[in-house]
Amino acid sequence: MKKYIAYCGLDCETCEARLATANNDEALRREVAKKWSELNGVQITPEMINCNGCRIDGVKSPYCSSLCPIR
């Protein structure tokens, strides 16, 4: 099994949060935070856009670390 496939089936290799983290891309963090805030109707800050992947050791987004019902 690929290690970048999350427990929910999301392909973390293409996840914008993981890409922003892997590339330390602040512009992408801001873009993703804005988009995810609008999509989910909650305030998501660029600082929250840090994730190494669901099944990988390290930092997780707040949703992936504590809110995901599958994980």
- In tens digits, the chain (71 residues) has pLDDT values of 577 898 889 899 999 999 999 999 999 999 999 999 999 999 999 999 999 998 888 999 888 888 888 88
The whole model's pTM is what? 0.85
Q: Is residue 44 part of a domain?
A: yes
| Residue 56 domain boundaries | 12-67
Total domains present in the chain: 1
Q: Is residue 7 part of a domain?
A: no
The pLDDT value given to residue 47: 96
- Residues 51 and 15: beta-carbon distance below 8 Å: yes
61: left (phi over 0), alpha (psi -120 to 50) or beta: beta
> b/e map of 6-42 (b: 16 or more CB within 10 Å)?
beeebebeebbbbbbbeeeeeebbeebbeebeeeeee
Q: Is residue 1 part of a domain?
A: no
